[in-house]
Amino acid sequence: MSTLISKLLNPGSRSQELRLIARNLLQLYKENRKNPSKHVVIFLLSLFSSTTVAVIYTLNKVISDIRDKRDSRPLYKRSSSTILKNGARELFIPYKNRQKRVIIQPTEPELYEKDKFKYKNFAKNIKTEEDHDKIFSSKFLNQLIIIWQILIPKVNDKNSIFLITQFFFLILRTWLSLLIAKLDGQIVKDIIGGKFRKFLRDLAYWFLMAVPASYTNSAIKYLVKKLSVNFRTNLTRYVHDMYLDPRMVYYKVMFNDQSIKDIDNFITTDINRFCNSICSLFSNIGKPMIDLVFFAVYLRDNLGTAGITGIFVNYFISAYILKRNTPPFGKLTKEKSALEGEYYNDHLNLITNSEEIAFYNGTNLEKIKINEIYDKMMNHVFKVNRIKVAYNVLEDYILKYTWSALGYLYASIPIFIISVKDDVKKSTEDRNMRQFIVNKRLMLNMADAGSRLMYSIKDISKLTGYTDRVFTLLTVLHQVHDGDFQFGSEDWNENIKGAIQYHYNGLRFEKINVIIPTINGGEGTKLINELDINLKQHESILILGMNGCGKTSIERILAGLWPLYHGLISKPNDDDIIYLPQKAYFSNGTLRDQLIYPMSHSEMLNEGKTDQDLIRILKEVRLEYLLDRDVGLNYLNSIHDWKDVLSGGEKQRVQFARILFKNPKFVVLDEATNAISSDIEAYLFDLLRKKNFAFITLSHRPLLIKYHDYLLEIHQDGNWSLETLGSDAAIISIEKEIKEIEDKLKDVDSQEDRKIQLENLLDGIQPKKLLSDQIAEID
């Protein structure tokens, strides 16, 4: 062999040796043409299957592109979504030079009603055992089984096909590893025996085997990532359909469990980590398990039953030792995720309220809060790292070194125990050498499989933490989504006694109690006692009261944000009511999007409305000058940060524009004109009355009574008074307010004198004494 290598390195003889190698390879091809080796067959089958998969994938992509081009729309149109007749959502996503059509099928309404009982029964049946860190604990398995029905909702789901395909490739990779181990022993035997032709043949087989082996590894990695994406898609869509349900779960969830304040972190980070963890775990456990089975069956013929038994006894002892010394990784992972979510929320709060914090000069306090949670999070990370040190030492010693040494021991059993005759000593030595190489490689592969299986203990512990987080999220969402959701209470069975009647031509409150949602339910803090109102069509009412008396709470109950614990509300359909909250909301988008919110552009066009209608509405609320800030009508398509571009009064007038665009039967105004000048305010209320809107105004300003038909005053003790307003009552109320202001103005002079006296005292100037006091001192 050394002579051959020296010749190959010699430039003079290199061409002759290359021709010799080429002749030998050609001769090997001729010898195997009629009876090809199984390695060649494996290579050809792999190449054929790869080509078949590539052709199918290409054809599917071509058909999909043709369908997309047929259903696509030009790129210059804004991406939008439309609800189809069957309830599916049609999306157009920018893709290359066009927009790709995507159909999202609706979630069955009955699905959540059926699934909620799984979570209710789980909460009832699960014992309060601290087993969330036990491998394959009953709590962990039950949670995983329930979530699994979301990941793979039916047997013939595409994810089932991906799982079966991944299992096939895992078996194929193990089988190829077994063949490569045999080929490795044969190559070593050829090198030591100086059999150059067989060495070249086996080396050629090695390169042929590398093709299906590489393809198999890539396919497994692809399937793991594909499954992870599909699992995350199913789980996220399931969560989104509940979280963004018309029952406004995204709002009500704050009343359920304060431990899930960072729900955004649950939905984004924890779901992603859970899906990646469970898909990786399937590959990390499936491959070692298959390796152990295949290699054990093969080694049993070489090592015997005693050798295989010793190997598995070693595995069980190692697993027991590692399990006894495994830290609570599941609990630590769950705590880490919670701290990361809290740290994220503090930064989000700083971004959301940056202007207010800057005005208050609260930088130092916010810095202390963020540094505090950051230090807490980092201390937890350092704690986890310290815990891992001792465990990693024990783990590496057992899995890397002990198992490798035992692998040599078990691989040498056939050589040291089996005796041979002298006349076949040489052939036996060759066989032993080859067999030892094969056994050694398989033993090392088994040791690697066993070590990866043991390493998976940590992965399983982490998965228990992610599973518990995701299951907690799903449980809370089902509790809030339930029609009998008890605000602030974990009891699924307590009923709310109040009732709401829809499709009523007007508005009627019958003995409703306004109660703050808490864990106490109907026994909580009562803001208003047995309120009675009967408002007919086209009538308006002004609700007056001090801050905190419960005015906005009435709006929350009417909109379904808060529960109605007692009484009856009769109101129009929800689509016929529009609510204007105290803080105007503006989405990311164009001016058109702000005016038609929450409708999309395509939905506006479907209703037969155009930009000319929006221009007319802008003129009606006296905002037509906004169109002159840019280039005419194109300003409707301009994208700005509208909450910063518009002033407070402009924001409130945009809300009135939304009223005119939607044209509802009923309007609820919560301090909707407190940033508007008095002349524009009068104009807007007259506009509402002119268009015959029925509206409720929540305010603390008595001057607004002249625009309403009724006045409801809420007192601090929860009592109330209702009166019908006429012109005389309005005038009397205004005169009363004017008199109160005049009385305050009369006292201005005395207050100014007192102010001067206090300033003199602060400056050390004694006040001048009266003349009578000076005469008394002289006497």
Q: What pLDDT does 698 receive?
A: 92
Judgement on whether residues 506 and 532 belong to the same structural domain of the protein: yes
Residue 617 lies in a domain: yes
Judgement on whether residues 510 and 653 belong to the same structural domain of the protein: yes
**Average per-residue pLDDT in the chain?**
75
Mean pLDDT of 325-347: 78
φ and ψ of 555, to 5 deg:
-65, -40
pLDDT at 440 over 80: no
- pLDDT tens, 285-296? 777 777 767 666
3-state secondary structure 595-617: HHCCCCHHHHHHCCCCHHHHHHH
Judgement on whether residues 86 and 139 belong to the same structural domain of the protein: no
pLDDT at 280 over 70: yes
- The neighbour count for residue 47, using CB atoms within 10 Å, is 14
Q: What pLDDT does 668 receive?
A: 92
Q: What pLDDT does 424 receive?
A: 42
Mean pLDDT of 59-78: 59
- pLDDT tens, 695-704? 999 998 888 8
pLDDT at 779 over 50: no
- Bigger pLDDT: 372 vs 399: 372
The answer to whether 463 and 281 have CB atoms below 8 angstroms apart is: yes
Residue with token string 């029952």 = 247
pLDDT at 490 over 70: no
Q: What is the CATH number of the domain that holds 682?
A: 3.40.50.300
- pLDDT tens, 494-530? 557 788 888 888 889 998 988 888 777 777 788 888 8
pLDDT at 360 over 60: yes
Residue 741 lies in a domain: no
Report residue 132's pLDDT band, with 50, 70 and 90 as the boundaries: very low
- pLDDT tens, 175-193? 777 777 777 767 777 776 7
Please report, for the chain, how many H helices and E strands are present, in that order. Answer: 26, 15
- pLDDT tens, 613-631? 998 999 999 988 887 765 4
Residue 756 lies in a domain: no
pLDDT at 652 over 70: yes
Q: Which of 86, 104, 122 is the last residue of a domain?
A: 104
Residue 98 lies in a domain: yes
- Bigger pLDDT: 48 vs 649: 649
pLDDT at 656 over 90: yes
Sign of CA dihedral 519, 525, 529, 532: negative
Q: What pLDDT does 654 receive?
A: 92
- pLDDT tens, 202-225? 777 777 777 777 778 888 888 888
Most confident option among 62-71, 190-199, 245-254, 676-685? 676-685
pTM, whole model, 2 decimals? 0.68
Report residue 660's pLDDT band, with 50, 70 and 90 as the boundaries: very high
Q: How far is CA 133 from CA 340, 440, 457, 462, in A?
A: 20, 36, 11, 9
In this structure, of 392-401, 660-669, 707-716, 717-726, the range with the lowest mean pLDDT score is 392-401
Calculate the dihedral angle through the C-alpha atoms of 328, 333, 335, 336, rounding to the nearest 10 degrees.
Answer: 140
Mean pLDDT of 719-745: 69
Judgement on whether residues 58 and 161 belong to the same structural domain of the protein: no
The answer to whether 281 and 275 have CB atoms below 8 angstroms apart is: no
Strands 89-95 and 81-83: antiparallel
Q: What pLDDT does 696 receive?
A: 92
Residue 686 lies in a domain: yes
Q: What pLDDT does 524 receive?
A: 78
Widest distance between CA atoms in the chain: 149
Q: Which of 713, 735, 757 is the last residue of a domain?
A: 735
- Bigger pLDDT: 667 vs 725: 667
Q: What pLDDT does 631 receive?
A: 44
Judgement on whether residues 44 and 192 belong to the same structural domain of the protein: no
Q: What pLDDT does 77 receive?
A: 43
Judgement on whether residues 50 and 135 belong to the same structural domain of the protein: no
DSSP for 395-453, written as a single string: HHIIIIIIHHHHHHHHHTHHHHH----GGGHHHHHHHHHHHHHHHHHHHHHHHHHHHHH
Judgement on whether residues 450 and 477 belong to the same structural domain of the protein: yes
- pLDDT tens, 14-66? 456 556 555 655 555 555 454 455 555 666 666 666 667 667 767 767 776 67
Of all residues in the chain, the percent with pLDDT exceeding 70 is 67
Residue 731 lies in a domain: yes
Domain count for the chain = 3
- Bigger pLDDT: 148 vs 412: 148
Judgement on whether residues 279 and 350 belong to the same structural domain of the protein: yes
Q: What is the CATH number of the domain that holds 345?
A: 1.20.1560.10
- Structural domain boundaries, residue 610: 499-735
Judgement on whether residues 89 and 176 belong to the same structural domain of the protein: no
Q: Angle 271-324/425-481 helices, nearest 10 degrees?
A: 130
Judgement on whether residues 573 and 716 belong to the same structural domain of the protein: yes
pLDDT at 129 over 80: no
Residue 315 lies in a domain: yes
- pLDDT tens, 133-157? 454 567 888 888 899 989 988 888 8
Judgement on whether residues 532 and 638 belong to the same structural domain of the protein: yes
Judgement on whether residues 539 and 462 belong to the same structural domain of the protein: no
Residue 118 lies in a domain: no
For the record, the structure tokens of 508 come out as 């009627």
Q: Which of 453, 481, 509 is the last residue of a domain?
A: 481
Report residue 3's pLDDT band, with 50, 70 and 90 as the boundaries: very low
Q: What pLDDT does 97 receive?
A: 67
* Bond prior to 246 in cis (omega within 30° of 0): no
